[in-house]
Structure 1
Amino acid sequence: MTREIYVVEHKYRPDAQQSAAAMSAELTRQGFHVRRSGPLGEAEIVVVLGGDGTILAATELTRGTEVPIVGINYGHVGFLAEVEPEGLPRVVEQITARQWTLDRRMTMDIDVTLADGSRSRTWTLNEAALDKAGMPMIEVSLGVDGRGVSSFSCDSVLMATPTGSTAYSFSAGGPVVWPDVEAMLLIPVAAHALFTRPLVVGPQSELEIVIDTDGARLVCDGRRELPVAAGSLITARKSDHPVYLARLNDTPFSGRLVKKFDLPVRGWRDRRRR
């Protein structure tokens, strides 16, 4: 049976588009059927040429399946990406030889119940961001597992996954959480209160936000927006539908963290080598 590969590229990066076309031609030459639009079909892996935003877009194709995504970084930090563009030929070789491992990433289900009782639902791999959308501030009350925790005015509140802990959450002062830890983060941004520390809760907990002002917006992964208004209840729970990333090497997360953020490790000594 012909093997299928799905290729997604950044819509506005000519270099990513050219590389996607060249890679697709090479895979086709090797006998693969390459999809570049439409449904996922029988694709065994999705190759994304772009930044984290393009990878997040591709997760809308694969979530709910075990089809992994491998990212080639044509963005900036590209934290979700596996290799830089110069590694493209090696990616083709490893795909051909089925040389990858699966990295399971937790997602969250996000529910909004408006004051009139109507409900809407979506999901997120990185974070759900409730922000003021042009308002001076928003008034919120935070809860965990049905119990109130704090109330205050703020610029934004984030509900993030471990994958999202190195994205918006990180910029807002949240902790870095290793991706194999199943947890959810609640991060106030620029809050006017004494207790505004980020919270990290377990996978069986439920995060809750009640918004007391109009004019806010709730955006998941920078892509999916749900309507909110004064009196809305927003909840986040661990989802039963993860996203899978394909790993082509065994570099631990600590190594990826240092490389992507260019962290100073001068003076570090690996005791195992002594």
Structure 2
Amino acid sequence: MLVALGGDGTMLRVARAVASSRVPILGVNLGTLGFLTTCGFADLPETLAALKAGECWVESRHLIQARRSSRPRQRPELALNDFVISRGPTPRLIELELSVDGETLTRYRGDGLIISSPTGSTAYSLAAGGAVVSPQAEVFALTPICPHTLSNRSVIVRLGAVIEVRLLTHGVATFFSADGQVGTEIEVNERITVQRSRHAACLVRRPGASFFQTLRQKLGWSGSAVEAGDR
């Protein structure tokens, strides 16, 4: 087991670094949100006691991978949350062509596109207006960033799909990033192919922990929780 001290950024880096080993990760939140972590620092003794008693469990989260046409021999980039293609500091629109399983879906004109895993649906994709997706749902969320239209919305496709994005815009610096941490500039007409990775992150969970409980506690979800006695 690996113990990660930090916040969600630390969890994302660790998940990518140990992706091939499937080692369980116990995250101790020292940051602000800690959506992916197991517990806060104050709860660590209780969590370790539960772990020793065999009461904790391991949740598997899918990673996704991306290949760039300009770097065919490079290993695919991995992400736990998302891949983002976005314009640089110049305040100009970029145009992206999006295909799913070889079929052209649409062209986006805006600030960029987020390709999110189920885990990443509560990160940048959520802030951009995307849907909240349960981590057990085997889907991608494709969420445009500030699209210049009244009709574009987040699109949900199966996690087994092959997603391809091509940059069409000349003269505007455009960047590709993994989990908001690993970023490089991309070229016009470059194609980025995203699909499910065979790797997964194994996150240690405390007894009774659930995704929806975390959603209410960490993100201040305004929905009303229904207690068993109120039914």
Task: Work out the CA distance in 1 between the residues paired with 2:72 and 2:194.
Answer: 17
Shift of 1:103: 0.3
Shift of 1:270: 3.4
SS in structure 1 of the partner of residue 142 of structure 2: strand
Q: CA-atom RMSD, angstroms?
A: 1.9
Q: 2:212: which partner in 1?
A: 254
Q: What are the within-5 Å matches in structure 2 for residues 235-274 of structure 1? A: 235-266=193-224, 268-270=225-227, 274=231
- Higher mean displacement: 199-208 or 167-176: 199-208
Q: 1:93: which partner in 2?
A: 49
Aligned AA (2:189)? G
Q: 1:51: which partner in 2?
A: 7
Shift of 1:227: 4.3
Shift of 1:226: 4.3
Q: 1:112: which partner in 2?
A: 68
Task: Work out the CA distance in 2 between the residues paired with 1:58 and 1:164.
Answer: 15
Q: What are the within-5 Å matches in structure 2 for residues 1-274 of structure 1? A: 45-114=1-70, 118=72, 120=74, 121-135=76-90, 136-213=92-169, 214-266=172-224, 268-270=225-227, 274=231
Q: Is the 8 A contact 2:108 2:144 kept in 1?
A: no
- Give ranges in structure 1 of 5+ residues lacking alignment: 1-44
Q: Is the 8 A contact 1:129 1:219 kept in 2?
A: yes
Deviation track 1:12-47 (CA, whole Å, cap 9, x = no partner) reads xxxxxxxxxxxxxxxxxxxxxxxxxxxxxxxxx111
- TM-score, reference length from structure 2: 0.90
Q: Is the 8 A contact 1:150 1:195 kept in 2?
A: no
Distance of aligned partners of 1:233 and 1:148 in 2 relative to their CA distance in 1, 3 Å threshold: same
From the two aligned structures, give the one with the greater strand fraction: 2
Task: Work out the CA distance in 1 between the residues paired with 2:151 and 2:78.
Answer: 28
Q: Is the 8 A contact 1:157 1:186 kept in 2?
A: yes
SS in structure 2 of the partner of residue 231 of structure 1: coil
Task: Work out the CA distance in 2 between the residues paired with 1:140 and 1:157.
Answer: 8
Distance of aligned partners of 1:205 and 1:139 in 2 relative to their CA distance in 1, 3 Å threshold: same
Deviation track 1:49-83 (CA, whole Å, cap 9, x = no partner) reads 21100111111332112211111111111110121
- Give ranges in structure 2 of 5+ residues lacking alignment: none
Aligned residue-pair number: 227
Task: Work out the CA distance in 2 between the residues paired with 1:110 and 1:129.
Answer: 11
Aligned AA (1:69)? I
Task: Work out the CA distance in 1 between the residues paired with 2:93 and 2:161.
Answer: 27
Identity in percent: 29
Distance of aligned partners of 1:207 and 1:272 in 2 relative to their CA distance in 1, 3 Å threshold: farther
Q: Is the 8 A contact 1:112 1:119 kept in 2?
A: no
Q: Which has the higher contact order (CA 8 A, sep 6+)?
A: 2
| Greater C-alpha Rg | 1
Q: Is the 8 A contact 2:115 2:141 kept in 1?
A: yes
- TM-score, reference length from structure 1: 0.77
Q: Is the 8 A contact 1:70 1:82 kept in 2?
A: yes
Shift of 1:272: 6.0
SS in structure 2 of the partner of residue 128 of structure 1: strand
